[in-house]
Amino acid sequence: MSFDINRLIRPNIAKLLPYSSARDEFSGEAKVFLDANENSLGSPLMKWYNRYPDPHQKAVKDKIAAIKRIPAPHIFLGNGSDECIDVIFRCFCEPGLDEVIICPPTYGMYEVSANINHVGVKKVPLLPDFQLDLVHLENAITDHTKIIWICSPNNPTGNSLNRVDIETVLNNFNGLVVIDEAYINFAKQKSFVQELSEYGNLIVLQTFSKAWGLAGLRLGMAFASLSIIEVLDKVKPPYNISQASQELALKALEEIGQVNDMIKIIVDMREALAAVFLSMPTVEKVYPSDANFILVKLADARKVYDFLLTKGIVLRDRSNVALCENCLRITIGTEQENTLLVEAMHDWYQLNP
């Protein structure tokens, strides 16, 4: 299928002249910067943070590119994946006219961002096994459908979606397909990042918040074709990634071995915690997970949730989410935190035999 990105871009965005920052208007090296109206005397806290950061995050992108084995121009960095999501909406969805498709249960920010941008949302629920309903999905597409959002591994269910099903969507939908791979590092499933050359309509989201352990940094990644990245770059704020975030990200990217070790530990604890919960009374199901959390179905999820709060333990009650009735989403904690959770659950069962 021939894919034309120009057909999807909002007309005003296609005509947009992006803001040109001071750092955009020269190339090469310089010793004296008197172009951006910064405080040349520095900061009382950290003198070197008085200058604006690199608006293109070149050093960080080059390092990510080497790790992901894709060219750096195929990378967009956002202030968290949530900024990536919002910028995608603003680039491609005409408010009050266009619509997107989401597949609940899924990450809630897709719908929130659509509502903020006044973009219609069609919901095509996952099947009972938490896989895509391809027939329903095909029937839901209209001439105004610009984006299909797919989360894999999925949040809050934890499972990976069938790769062949995702490829079917990519091959048959002439709009954008965004695959959110926030949890891909915890899964055996291969990332779609290496498939960018195969699909001009593909955007892959990843993040530093999960496997990299840098949720407080707020750094998200989008991988796509050059033409899509160019559009996203037109709309983003000029200095959306701070100097501190760029420096810390570069340091983290030097520690791939340590990150891989942490991933293995978390996956091992995930399997152990799932086994413990499966042995507990009134636990009806622990869903298979490719993420750093498990979804557990209990007889009285809300009562268990409230009881754990009295113990100072906070889980995520997903009982009000489609297909997740009476389910708690449990992040894999430290060994000590997991032990406290299990002990609190035993307290619950002693009080509620």
Q: Are residue 149 and residue 214 in the same domain, yes or no?
A: yes
CATH number, domain of 315, equals: 3.90.1150.10
Q: Are residue 192 and residue 317 in the same domain, yes or no?
A: no
Could you identify the residue written with the tokens 């520095």?
42
Q: Are residue 319 and residue 221 in the same domain, yes or no?
A: no
Q: What percent of the chain has pLDDT over 70?
A: 99
In-domain check, residue 30: no
In-domain check, residue 24: no
CATH number, domain of 242, equals: 3.40.640.10
In-domain check, residue 27: no
Q: Are residue 161 and residue 270 in the same domain, yes or no?
A: no
- Helix or strand run (H / E) with residue 257: helix 256-278
Per the CB < 8 A criterion, the answer to whether 119 and 335 are in contact is no
Q: Are residue 143 and residue 216 in the same domain, yes or no?
A: yes
Q: Which of 254, 286, 310 is the last residue of a domain?
A: 254
Q: Which of 225, 254, 283 is the last residue of a domain?
A: 254
First to last CA, the chain: 60
Q: Are residue 98 and residue 9 in the same domain, yes or no?
A: yes
Residues 6+ apart with CB under 8 A from 276: 342
Q: Are residue 106 and residue 207 in the same domain, yes or no?
A: yes
Phi first, then psi, for residue 146 (nearest 5°) are -100, -35
Domain count, the chain: 2
Q: Which of 207, 231, 254 is the last residue of a domain?
A: 254
Token pair recorded at residue 161: 């979606």
Domain that includes residue 335, residue range: 257-351
Q: Are residue 75 and residue 207 in the same domain, yes or no?
A: yes
Predicted confidence (pLDDT) per residue in 228-284, tens digit: 999 999 999 999 999 999 999 999 999 999 999 999 999 999 999 999 999 999 899
Q: Are residue 72 and residue 216 in the same domain, yes or no?
A: yes
Q: Are residue 12 and residue 82 in the same domain, yes or no?
A: yes
Q: Are residue 315 and residue 336 in the same domain, yes or no?
A: yes
Question: Identity (one letter) of the amino acid at 224?
Answer: A
Antiparallel, parallel or unpaired: β 327-331 and 176-180? unpaired
Q: Are residue 163 and residue 306 in the same domain, yes or no?
A: no
Average pLDDT per run of 10 along the chain, which is 353 residues long?
A: 85 90 77 83 80 94 98 98 98 98 98 98 98 98 98 98 98 97 97 97 98 96 98 96 96 97 98 97 96 97 97 97 96 98 96 87
Predicted confidence (pLDDT) per residue in 288-309, tens digit: 999 999 999 999 999 999 999 9
